[in-house]
Amino acid sequence: MPPSKNNSIRVCIVGAGLAGAATAYHLSEFPGYAITLLDKERLPGTHSSGRNAAMIRQVVQPAAIAQVALESRVFIESTAGASADFRFDAHGSLLLGSKDELSALTADLSAQGALSDDVRMLNKEELHLEFDPLAGSTHEAALFTPSDGVVDVAGLLEYYIREARNRGVTLSLARTVIDIVREGRRIAGVQTNSGYEPFDYVINAAGPWAGRLGAMAGTTKIPWRPLRRHLFFTGPLKSIDPSLPFIWDIENHWYLRPESGGLLLCACDESEVEPGEPDLDPSVTQLLTEKLTRHVPELGDLPIAKMWSGIRTFAPDRNFVIGWDHEVEGFFWVAGLGGHGVTCSWGVGACAARILRDRANFGDRNFSPSRFYNDCD
Ligand SMILES: Cc1cc2nc3c(=O)[nH]c(=O)nc-3n(C[C@H](O)[C@H](O)[C@H](O)COP(=O)(O)OP(=O)(O)OC[C@H]3O[C@@H](n4cnc5c(N)ncnc54)[C@H](O)[C@@H]3O)c2cc1C
């Protein structure tokens, strides 16, 4: 066991985005931890967790992530329904694609027990009949998942943090970790812009900065990829039904959903960037127009009132990384949430808290950092 103070294990969670906040929420349910949730910004959720499309999508791959999405959606739906803490609009989702691709996707998830039981396949006629904006589209099939939806991300994040603080977690903002101090192979503490503090565990929930934090601790085996993606908002439009499901074309890579009387749109662009405040690439607007014109002609000529970008951070296999580091004792990863961090945050935090309590295990089989260490099983 690590050294302890006042019988508590001192835990520093670096990053008050969805990954760090959900981990603090779950870990604080267990006795014996003195937890500090720390972020360099003045507000939690300033980066990826504050710049996303807020969609809860359960039909995703790989199946291990779909499983986490399913359990997280149940939490979001029941908590939003039982309290006024945050809103969840379960207007459903439509995944557009070829019949073969969609059938293969549902067969894979179903075989692994990771398919939401309300998912159904719509053929071209049903699709065109039920969903006006798709009347002229070229798609031959869609998967309809009525229990998907859009969540109030700021409210969800605030909920995790408030519950964690009620259970004794210290929230420390405007505090940057500039170094991680070790004694031999073991974590000893963190050096921040406001001084040194000893800790037994450091949890890396630093999103796009996960690689930099790993390097501070002396562990660099995971080649992280922070990928920028743009979102667009049309401003209010006349004929948008606010209860329309979100629509995601997984064949041609674009999505849209109702937002504040207009549409939120994405061309599913990806470009590798440095962690930080991502800049804007105006050429992505053209890419979006081209995709919409080709695949949903009625929507090809929309006004754009606002655009912004954010970073999705991936491990090379695009799977989550949740578990103990193999090289540095007491260093723990909750990173690589990619494009699923809103949907899956609850389950990611639960998984992390389980592994943290169980020192003997490096991590969940699917998400373990051990897959990046050839010399470990
Ligand atoms: C355009 C876009 C659309 C998306 N849409 C969806 C969607 O519809 N549904 C969905 O499920 N997911 C979506 N995502 C993905 C989701 O937003 C992310 O998976 C999630 O927000 C990642 O959370 P995080 O806590 O890992 O990272 P972040 O929110 O970036 O948090 C990391 C935190 O660590 C802090 N930090 C870093 N380094 C230090 C340091 N040295 N010291 C102190 N603090 C530090 C940062 O300040 C930051 O607050 C989208 C992402 C983008 C970019």
Residues 175 and 214 in one domain: yes
Q: Whose CA is nearest to atom 41 of ligand 1?
A: 177
Q: Are 330 and 253 in contact (CB under 8 A)?
A: no
Residues (pLDDT < 70) of the chain are 1-6, 360-363, 374-377
Residues 242 and 308 in one domain: yes
Q: What is the pLDDT of residue 264?
A: 98
Q: Whose CA is nearest to atom 18 of ligand 1?
A: 341
User: What is d(CA 211, CA 224) in angstroms, rounded to the nearest whole number?
Assistant: 6
Residues 271 and 299 in one domain: yes
Q: Are 330 and 202 in contact (CB under 8 A)?
A: yes
Report the largest interatomic distance among the alpha carbons of the chain, rounded to a whole angstrom: 66
Q: Does some domain include residue 106?
A: yes
**End of a domain among 314, 334, 360?**
314
Residues 167 and 310 in one domain: no
Count structural domains, the chain: 2
For 332, phi then psi, to 5°, come to: -130, 135
Q: Does some domain include residue 299?
A: yes
3-state SS, 212-225, equals HHHHHHCCCCCCCE
State the distance from the centre of ligand 1 to the C-alpha of 327, rounded, in angstroms: 25
State the distance from the centre of ligand 1 to the C-alpha of 17, rounded, in angstroms: 6
State the distance from the centre of ligand 1 to the C-alpha of 43, rounded, in angstroms: 13
Residues 282 and 171 in one domain: no
Residues 178 and 233 in one domain: no
State the distance from the centre of ligand 1 to the C-alpha of 126, rounded, in angstroms: 37
Residues 162 and 266 in one domain: no
Q: Does some domain include residue 174?
A: yes
Q: What is the pLDDT of residue 297?
A: 84
Q: What is the pLDDT of residue 362?
A: 64
State the distance from the centre of ligand 1 to the C-alpha of 334, rounded, in angstroms: 11
Report the nearest atom of ligand 1 relative to the CA of 44.
Answer: 49
**End of a domain among 314, 330, 359?**
314
| Helix, strand, coil % in the chain, rounded to nearest 5 | 30, 30, 40
User: What is d(CA 359, CA 278) in angstroms, rounded to the nearest whole number?
Assistant: 37
Residues 206 and 286 in one domain: no
The CATH number of whichever domain residue 292 belongs to comes to 3.30.9.10
Quote the domain boundaries for residue 183.
9-48+154-223+316-372
3-state SS, 29-58, equals CCCCEEEEEECCCCCCCCCHHHCCCCEECC
User: What is d(CA 246, CA 149) in angstroms, rounded to the nearest whole number?
Assistant: 7
The CATH number of whichever domain residue 31 belongs to comes to 3.50.50.60
Q: Does some domain include residue 233?
A: yes
Binding site membership of 299 for ligand 1 (Cβ less than 6 Å): no
